[in-house]
Amino acid sequence: MRIIRRLLIWGVPAVLILGVIAGVIGWRIYEGARASNVGSLTFSNPLYVPPLLEPASDAQGRKVFDLTLEAGQTELIEGELTPTWGINGSHLSPVLRASRGDEVLINVHNGLDGESTTLHWHGMDLPALMDGGPHQLIRPGETWPATWTINQQAASLWFHPHPHGSTTDHVYRGIVGMFIIDDEDSKSLPIPRQYGVDDVPLIVQDKAFNDDGSLRKRRPPFASLGPLGDEILVNGTHDPYFEVRTTLVRFRLLNGSPARTYSFGFTDGRSFSVIASDSGLLESPVETDRVQLSPGERAEIVVSFTPGDEATLHSFGADLGQDFFTERLNGADDTFDILQIRASQQLDESSPLPEQLVSWTAPDAGEAVATRSFRLSGSSINGQRMDLTRVDEVVRAGSTEIWEVSTGGPHTFHIHLVRFLVLDVDGEPPPPLLGGWKDSVQLQPGRSYRLLVRFADYADPTSPFMFHCHILEHEDSGMMGQFILVDEEDDAPRSLPDPYGDGQED
């Protein structure tokens, strides 16, 4: 009797609780499988290669680019029209290209109806006022002239909107472009550089669609990363293939997705050479069969082909650390095709990659004048959410610092303006693919990353630069902070104006 009563008292709730837990886990696994259900492709559409935008030149010898942000409709998925945004077109942007030493003037016209936005030059070394962060708001109908002198090594940079709280939305709708920087090294080294032929940008983005073709932000339940699409677009092309005519081809990979991390490789297991990370060429090519990129990160890879060869670029399960729930959604099970590359029967022989690409003397960590610690968790950094009027860090212009970053979950730490070297991860030297200059680094839960950060000499005590998580919804929800560059500590202001404070904003 007593035993039966006990069983009823404890057993029924236990069964209920277990049932709920099983249900939640089952749903997560089901959604995880759906998330990875990008699946295999048939490769029926030629890859779109965004054109290079030819600059004009003005009386001061500047390279002038005119960009118009506009809304339109694009056939992203066969037979469907999707309302999208783009630059000088309805989706994505032409590619900008300039060389070290060039002075550029970029007129960014906001042709979007009723929406203010900004355009941020991700990875660019420039004054804060030209950075295009959340403070450089461009209202509808306005034109923002951004001008600076290119002052950094060759790299594959990119640009995207950065309005406070709406970055995910504006990027997801399609305003993304690549900015290629050249320098003496990149122009003289024997590396593939014929744009669109053996030097090809690959902007990889996942999207989901509603039945009427409109974009959908598909958020699997309990997922904390943000939207994870079930279709992959490369340069806006769904189900793409690309034909190559040379034995070596360089691909500039950009993860332009709001949340998803990719682990790029080829289905036949072939290896390739990574020649550049976010902020430029590595000292020497690193041979590998996988390169993992979290949102905002870039890598340049060189792949070799034989006549008639076919290779499928694929994303293998990404390694995000050890968060079980996240891993179900965008982790070890998240594997799918991205692009098929077809080699002609006749290939032009490319020169072999040099063993050494560039050389630099890494700044001595002993030169660092300050060490700061950042912990990313919840929707905040060091317990604080983004506040446009608060100055979080004051940094001496032209200095080198050590930034120590750690996290409770999978995040990607990005710092505007700078380039940095990963000094160590949990005290150990970084893996070879993290051996070059970076502006964004993927963080794994529970690990600690020491970054050696070079700050350029653009003191401006009234205009901040951002640092934030590049998982876009994390940034939008407040995982961002601001630093200013000063010549003298006393120059530091206590608070900044809020450009959104005039009621004109949504």
Beta bridge partners of residue 311, listed in sequence order: 341
170 binds, among Cu ion, ligand C2O, none (CB under 5 to 8 A by kind): none
Nearer to Cu ion, 328 or 416 (CB): 416
> Taking Cα atoms as reference points, which of 418, 493, 398, 479 lies closest to residue 443?
479
Q: Does residue 472 belong to the site contacting Cu ion (CB under 5 A)? A: no
Nearer to Cu ion, 159 or 272 (CB): 159
Minimum separation from the CB atom of position 468 to ligand C2O (A): 6
Binding mask 116-135 for Cu ion (x = CB under 5 A): ------x-------------
Distances (CA, A) of 505 to 36, 137, 371: 37, 10, 37
Q: Does residue 96 belong to the site contacting Cu ion (CB under 5 A)? A: no
Minimum separation from the CB atom of position 427 to ligand C2O (A): 28
User: Residue 246, by phi and psi: left (phi above 0), alpha (psi -120 to 50) or beta?
Assistant: beta
Minimum separation from the CB atom of position 477 to ligand C2O (A): 14
471 binds, among Cu ion, ligand C2O, none (CB under 5 to 8 A by kind): Cu ion
Half-sphere exposure of 19 (CA within 13 A, CB side): 6
Three-state secondary-structure class, residue 262: strand
Nearer to ligand C2O, 34 or 385 (CB): 385
Rounded to whole angstroms, the Cα distance separating 189 from 197 reads: 17
Chain residues in the site for ligand C2O (CB under 6 A): 120, 122, 160, 162, 296, 414, 416, 466, 468, 470
Residues 6+ apart with CB under 8 A from 107: 64, 65, 66, 67, 143, 144, 145
Binding mask 4-43 for Cu ion (x = CB under 5 A): ----------------------------------------
Q: Does residue 419 belong to the site contacting Cu ion (CB under 5 A)? A: no
148-156, 186-194, 396-404, 407-415 -> range binding Cu ion (CB under 5 A) = 407-415
Residues 6+ apart with CB under 8 A from 324: none
162 binds, among ligand C2O, Cu ion, none (CB under 5 to 8 A by kind): ligand C2O
Q: Could you tell me the strand order of the sheet in which 370-377 lies? A: 380-381, 370-377, 400-407, 448-454, 419-425
> Taking Cα atoms as reference points, which of 488, 427, 439 lies closest to residue 460?
488
Rounded to whole angstroms, the Cα distance separating 229 from 216 reads: 8
Nearer to Cu ion, 231 or 323 (CB): 323
**What is the H or E stretch that residue 328 is in?**
helix 324-329
Rounded to whole angstroms, the Cα distance separating 250 from 189 reads: 13
Rounded to whole angstroms, the Cα distance separating 427 from 240 reads: 42
Minimum separation from the CB atom of position 478 to Cu ion (A): 10
The structure tokens listed for 185 are 């090294």
Beta bridge partners of residue 403, listed in sequence order: 372, 451
Rounded to whole angstroms, the Cα distance separating 23 from 179 reads: 46
Nearer to ligand C2O, 124 or 249 (CB): 124
Rounded to whole angstroms, the Cα distance separating 290 from 270 reads: 10
419 binds, among ligand C2O, Cu ion, none (CB under 5 to 8 A by kind): none
Length in residues, the chain? 506
**What is the H or E stretch that residue 310 is in?**
strand 310-316
The structure tokens listed for 74 are 């694009």
The structure tokens listed for 381 are 């950094």
Minimum separation from the CB atom of position 296 to ligand C2O (A): 5
469 binds, among Cu ion, ligand C2O, none (CB under 5 to 8 A by kind): Cu ion
- 131 contacts 458 by C-beta, under 8 angstroms: no
115-123, 136-144, 180-188, 275-283 -> range binding Cu ion (CB under 5 A) = 115-123
32-40, 50-58, 114-122, 239-247 -> range binding Cu ion (CB under 5 A) = 114-122
26-34, 90-98, 322-330, 473-481 -> range binding Cu ion (CB under 5 A) = 473-481
Q: Which class for 366: exposed (0-12), middle (13-18), buried (19 or more C-beta within 10 A)?
A: exposed
468 binds, among ligand C2O, Cu ion, none (CB under 5 to 8 A by kind): ligand C2O
Nearer to Cu ion, 291 or 466 (CB): 466
Nearer to ligand C2O, 97 or 162 (CB): 162
- 292 contacts 319 by C-beta, under 8 angstroms: yes
Nearer to ligand C2O, 258 or 296 (CB): 296
474 binds, among ligand C2O, Cu ion, none (CB under 5 to 8 A by kind): Cu ion
The single residue among 91, 109, 260, 416 that binds Cu ion, judged by CB under 5 A, is: 416
Nearer to ligand C2O, 100 or 135 (CB): 135
Minimum separation from the CB atom of position 431 to Cu ion (A): 21
Minimum separation from the CB atom of position 61 to ligand C2O (A): 29
Beta bridge partners of residue 108, listed in sequence order: 67, 144
The single residue among 250, 438, 450, 474 that binds Cu ion, judged by CB under 5 A, is: 474
Point out the residue whose Cβ comes nearest to ligand C2O: 122
Rounded to whole angstroms, the Cα distance separating 321 from 428 reads: 17
296 binds, among Cu ion, ligand C2O, none (CB under 5 to 8 A by kind): ligand C2O
- 63 contacts 99 by C-beta, under 8 angstroms: no
Minimum separation from the CB atom of position 386 to Cu ion (A): 12
Q: Does residue 62 belong to the site contacting Cu ion (CB under 5 A)? A: no
What residue ranges bind Cu ion (CB under 5 A)?
122, 411, 416, 469, 471, 474
